[in-house]
Amino acid sequence: MTDLLQTEDAGGVRLIRIHRPDKLNALNAAVIDALDAAFAAAAADPAVRVVVLTGSGPKAFVAGADIAEMHALTPVQGRDFSLRGSRMMRRIETLPKPVIAMVNGFALGGGLELAMSCHLRIAADTAKLGQPEINLGLIPGFGGSQRLLRLCGRAATLELCLTGAPIAAERALQLGIVNRVVPAAELEAETMKVARQLAAAAPLALRGLLDCVNVGGECALEEGLEYESAQFGLLFSTRDMREGTSAFLEKRKPVFDGT
């Protein structure tokens, strides 16, 4: 793929590892473009059912955007850099396959924004998360203020963004920013266990669920309910639905092929 990313495939799960350990996996323009291409490829590959995203090394998921690269940007270039990252993260958020952030260390600034664009977040108990842009005279530029607001509400969003102070993984769990916290030594095993569970599920049903949550989160309840009913009905046209219901009636484990 690229020397900035390492990928591994196993059992329908694609592991994407950001590989800039000397920079704590900081996001620069090249990494953003590589991630955009990697997730486009994962979306198009029928063998990939789930994506796990993490960072190289024991210290960081992603410690933030690359400050050295940002320092020299003009206002127009700064806006373009923000849009570049936001488009990539929106691709992840709207991917028709589940994406799990395996938060193995620091997830700060752009790193937390990247994790929040994933559908699920599993964090090591040693991880630290935060939006420290205020300390640089900046605000979050890749959607941090907006996704935090939707995940954990106004008060917590203002606390994290106004103070810039990082929080421990357990505090992030209490706020609803991460889904699970596990011992650091067990992080990869636990994350891959969840990934394999999702990879064995019906791909079209997973896609329908992701679509329903994405659409329903941004519209009125009545519209969301109508959309869910339409997606529910559409799944009755799939072989996976027939396989799932048949397996239930026959008391066996279903085998879904994504059709």
Asked if 169 and 182 touch (Cβ cutoff 8 Å), the reply is no
C-alpha distances in Å from residue 201, one per residue of 42, 135, 242, 248, 256 = 17, 43, 14, 14, 7
Spatial separation of the C-alpha atoms in residues 97 and 210, rounded to whole Å: 8
Based on the number of CB atoms within 10 Å of its own CB, is 168 exposed (0-12), middle (13-18) or buried (19 or more)? Answer: middle
Distance CA 64, CA 241 (A): 42
Q: Which residues participate in catalysis according to the annotation?
A: 113, 133
Question: What pLDDT sits at residue 167?
Answer: 98
Q: Enter the pTM of the model.
A: 0.96
pLDDT for position 91: 98
Q: What is the per-residue pLDDT across 29-73, written as a single tens digit (0 to 9) for each?
A: 999 999 999 999 999 999 999 999 999 998 999 999 999 999 999
Mean pLDDT of 232-255: 97
State yes or no: pLDDT of 2 exceeds 90. no
1: pLDDT strictly greater than 60 = no
Question: What amino acid occupies position 216?
Answer: G
Mean predicted lDDT score pLDDT of the chain: 97
pLDDT of res. 158: 98
Domains of the chain with bracketed CATH: 5-199 (3.90.226.10), 203-249 (1.10.12)
pLDDT of residue 52: 98
Backbone torsion region of residue 12, taken as left when φ is above 0, otherwise alpha when ψ lies between -120 and 50, otherwise beta: left
Q: What is the pLDDT of residue 214?
A: 94
